[in-house]
Amino acid sequence: MFLLNTTADYRLSLDPRDEKALGIVAAEEVERYLAFRDEHVVTPLVALPGLAREIGVGAIHVKDEGHRLGLGSFKALGGAYAVIRLVLEQAQQKLGRAIDMAELHSPDVRAVAQGMTVACATDGNHGRSVAQGAQLTGARAAIFVHSGVSNERVSAIARFGAEMIRVEGTYNESVREAARIAEAKGWIIVSDTSWPGYERIPGLVMQGYTALVREALRQMPEPPTHVFIQSGVGGVAAAVAGHLAIALGDRRPVFTVVDPARAACLFETARAGRPVAIAHGEPTVMAMLECYEPSLVAWRILSRAADAFMTVDEGDAIEIMNRLARPISGDPAIVAGESGGVGLAAAIKAAADPAIKTALSIDQRSRIFVVNTEGATDPGKYEEITGLLPAVVAAKIQEGALI
């Protein structure tokens, strides 16, 4: 399914709150914070010239977030950053003086963090990031997971010392349960989705994601003409679209938001012209994108800065994992988890469909930018789908060999 943005807010300037949260100054601050992180390295930008030739475009660049901060997904940028910011803010209040990131590990700040509990609901990746931020600062973390989250993903979060709480039902039900219990216990909810009256912390989470856009703009020979970003609640799509709109103004690329057909909450929201919750259907293999209600802040940005919305099918997600593991024509391999390559799957679909290609003005000069939002965050699932061990693909990438 494909839809151009025809909502009333389309092409309006961003809301001043979002301009500030996703603007250049905020993004520079995120990168300054990152520089203090031991695990921080700029993630690779991978060119796929062979695939670009095959689908008839000028260039394809993939920002590979499978390498981010040792967590395997771009979510590492958001939750942990928000936790650090909240700890520093609380330290500032308690200690009565300005506190810089450089003081994060000082005994005074650590003592404040030890009195804090951060909580969130997660499909897997966001919780890993919040738990890592808590461990880094010395705060406690309570992470809520719904019944569809694999045991492998739960263990990956528990490894950071977080208390894990299983909740019956879907992701959206786990979001509500986390908020309810956190309220009762005085914990701080660090959610990657927002709802009426709860916007500031999800705004910080999204602000953290801007780092990947800044890095990519520096790594690319020229800014992209087309961007395809996959969405769960829409946070990363909104952060990328919002920051590109601010950084590039009129030269901003044509931006398409991509949902799984089985969990198309942004697509249906765009169709309705207002945020809508959709019915829970069959689960999707794109586990991290299985969200049934958009983030309100994300929608406020995307309704203005996204040009189109489209869906991909289950088979597309599986095919792209395999294509990236066994690339064509001399392209390097990329390890992409079930939700990682979905933006690229949509780009390939768009280029192959004459109506979508025309609607988005894709031609042989187009420079497409996508994000591999996760590596093999569930290695068992990766092997099941591709028939390859993630470590084997990664070793071949290191050697520069094709599989």
Q: Would you tell me which residues interact with ligand PLP (CB under 6 A)?
A: 73, 75, 123, 125-126, 192, 230-237, 288-289, 291, 339-340, 373-374
Burial of 163 (0-12, 13-18, 19+ CB in 10 A): middle
Residue placing its CB nearer to ligand PLP in the complex, 90 or 230: 230
* Backbone conformation region of residue 331, classed left if phi is above 0, alpha if psi is from -120 to 50, else beta: beta
Q: Which two tokens stand for residue 323?
A: 């294509």
How far CA 151 is from CA of 70, 145, 163, 393, in Å, comes to 19, 10, 14, 23
For residues 166 and 200, give the distance between their C-alpha atoms in angstroms, rounded to a whole number.
26
Active site amino acids: 75, 123
List of residues 6+ apart from 175 with CB closer than 8 A: 121, 144, 191, 193
The three-class DSSP label of residue 319 is: helix
Please report, to the nearest 10 degrees, the dihedral formed by the alpha carbons of residues 286, 244, 305, 300 taken in order: 70
First vs last C-alpha separation in the chain: 33
For residues 374 and 340, give the distance between their C-alpha atoms in angstroms, rounded to a whole number.
Answer: 5
Position 130, amino acid: V
DSSP letter string over 65-77?
Answer: GGGGGGTTBGGGG
Please state the closest distance from residue 21 (CB atom) to ligand PLP, in A: 14
For residue 234, the minimal CB distance to ligand PLP (Å) is: 5
Instruction: Report the relative pairing of strands 140-146 and 367-372 from DSSP bridges.
Output: unpaired
Single out the residue of 346, 348, 335 nearest to residue 264, CA to CA: 346
Q: Describe the chain by its helix, strand, coil percentages, rounded to 5.
A: 50, 15, 35
Token pair belonging to 234: 């829409």
Residue closer to ligand PLP by CB (options 7, 125) is: 125
Q: How far is the CB of 123 from ligand PLP (least distance, A)?
A: 5
Task: Closer to ligand PLP by CB, 88 or 257: give it.
Answer: 257
Between 137 and 295, name the residue whose CB sits nearer to ligand PLP: 295
Q: Do 65 and 128 contact (CB within 8 A), yes or no?
A: no
SS3 212: helix
Q: Which residues contact 115 (CB under 8 A, 6 or more apart)?
A: none
> Minimum distance from CB of 289 to ligand PLP (Å)?
6
With CA atoms as reference, report the closest residue to 255 among 223, 317, 207, 302.
Answer: 302
Largest CA distance in the chain: 61
Joined tokens for residue 343: 């933006």
DSSP class of residue 353? -
